[in-house]
Amino acid sequence: MMRSLLHFNPPSVTLCRQQWQLWQQCPLAKELAEIEQRVIDPLVARKFGRHLLQISMAGSPPLHRKSPIGNKTFLSFDYPVSDPQVSVVSRPDFLSIANESVDVLILHHVLEFSEDPHKVLREALRVLVSGGQLFIIGFNPLSAWWLRKLFTFKRRAPWSGHYYSQRRVADWLRLLDIRLEDTSFGFFKLPTNQKKLLDVAYKLEVFGQNYNCFFGGIYVMVARKQVAGLMPLQQAWHQHQIISIPVTEPTTRCLKQGK
């Protein structure tokens, strides 16, 4: 019985997107979005470059509002696209983005709902410039969120994904020669839709973030792609000037919005 609760086949990404869109209207989802924004704001504010790409589950807000980068692109997994901020439609494990064209890439709860998270990370490595930075936001299995997931029998997003530990993701990054620089934790409250319980746990949230306690419901990992060779960053950009965020020509792996 316990094994069946821990090991199951997650639903399709499309179904997860639909379930996430419904879930984001509840108080817990709104609280999660606010806390994730507070955690990531000071992190992205210190990252510079020319192109930023965010890949998120459906309905997720843009997390790059504090970023000084001018060109910001929001990617959707598939059609239909109802969000006007989405400018690229592509699978996260098969990105229609040119090699070494992104300075900052944000993966927002993508690994948990991917059939092949290793491939998603390999694609992230491919599109990042040398020295580019990768933000990974995920649910922490060493938290009350995992307990809520364990005892939620209706397997719907966000409870239907695989919650990978920060240490496990760090091992994947190390194998890809991506250097982990920092990990921040957030959401130390109970994952409940009871607004009063969320409000009274404010001091616990402040304490957890001040001391960066490992049992937060979410983590934000900041990693850097290792610099290859001694080619100056500006010279590398001259080789990839295609459009705002370089997109390859339409093929079977690339869907352009509106086509």
**What DSSP letter does each residue of 208-252 carry, written as one string?**
HHHTT-TT-SEEEEEEEEPPPTT--HHHHHHTT-SSSS-BPPP-T
36-54 mean pLDDT: 93
**Who contacts 17 (Cβ-Cβ below 8 Å, separation ≥6)?**
57, 58, 77, 78, 157
Q: Is the pLDDT of residue 246 over 80?
A: no
Q: Is the pLDDT of residue 87 over 80?
A: no
Burial class (CB in 10 A: 0-12, 13-18, 19+), 90: buried
Q: What is the pLDDT of residue 256?
A: 45
Least confident of 15-19, 70-74, 211-215, 227-231: 227-231
* Cβ atoms < 10 Å from Cβ of 150: 14
Higher pLDDT, 85 or 42: 42
195-208 mean pLDDT: 85
The band of 238, judged by pLDDT with boundaries at 50, 70 and 90, is: very low
What average pLDDT does the chain have?
A: 82
Q: What is the pLDDT of residue 163?
A: 95
The band of 82, judged by pLDDT with boundaries at 50, 70 and 90, is: low
| Phi and psi, residue 45, nearest 5° | -65, -20
Q: Name the range with the highest mean pLDDT among 53-62, 66-75, 237-246.
A: 66-75
What CATH class has 2-238? alpha beta
Q: What is the pLDDT of residue 61?
A: 77
Angle, helix 166-175 to helix 117-127, in steps of 10 degrees: 50
Tens digit of pLDDT for each residue in 124-160? 999 999 999 999 999 999 999 999 999 887 778 899 9
Higher pLDDT, 187 or 200: 187
Q: What is the pLDDT of residue 247?
A: 52
188-201 mean pLDDT: 86
Q: Name the range with the highest mean pLDDT among 58-72, 191-205, 206-220, 230-244.
A: 206-220
24-50 mean pLDDT: 92
